[in-house]
Amino acid sequence: MQPTQVLHSSVTCPYPNPHASLRLFCFPYAGGNSLIFRPWLKSLPTTVEVCPVELPGRGIQMKLAPISRLELLIKSLASTLLPHLNQPFAFFGHSMGALISFELTRLLRREYNISPVHLFISGRRAPQIPDPKPPIHALPEPEFIEELRRLNGTPQAVLENTELMQLLIPTLRADFAVLETYAYTPEPTLNVPITTFGGLQDSEVNFDELQAWQAQTHSTFSQQMFPGNHFFLHSAQSLLLQSLSQQLNRITSEASC
């Protein structure tokens, strides 16, 4: 096994694949880090180089302050990723990561005239739909932790570990601030194929809110639902990776024709 290659301060490629025809950048949900994509690395086609993105304030970026505004975050990510967009690439993002990948796609088109070959959106309502829920990022700590418990994305053992939570709360607050201060601005529709993935029991994002992503592309659009709640990417991981593999195989096959 080859050692982990750090492409830049926030992009890792644990299994470098110089012969891959497509690079897949993966963006985590709020509070998540690049390790959530570790099981993916050997489950996707060999034609794809999987590159999880590590955001500031976690993992190998733990010493960096988390960024609490989406505009600043995507500008930072664009400069980080730009040297590695020298071959066909695609984005996958779940929840917060989906919003990051969408706005990063728009920034890359706007400022560099480059685009991913595909955008995989998971567990996130379309950006033009306002958040119906009140913000939580500035709540007092007990109420904030209770909201985290309700969302069911943080393990109970972590929520009950006071010392660990003191380390995690600044990053979690920043991530929720990224989502809750976001304001959608209309721009020309993308010419990038979009696939959305959702959880059938997800109380945060429903079928119609995922379907509404179709308005963001002039290209092809598809949608697939899996059993599970908002974190179906873990509970239905094998089904998700099977679907993702099929689509990535098709993309790389078409690119080689």
Catalytic residues: 95
Burial label for 113, CB within 10 Å (0-12, 13-18, 19+), is exposed
Q: Answer for the pair 216, 126: CB distance below 8 angstroms, yes or no.
A: yes
Q: Answer for the pair 26, 51: CB distance below 8 angstroms, yes or no.
A: yes
Q: Answer for the pair 28, 133: CB distance below 8 angstroms, yes or no.
A: no
Q: Answer for the pair 92, 117: CB distance below 8 angstroms, yes or no.
A: no
What CA dihedral angle connects 27, 129, 198 and 82, to 10 degrees? Answer: -20
Strand partners, 53: 11
* CA dist., res. 209 & res. 130, Å (int): 10
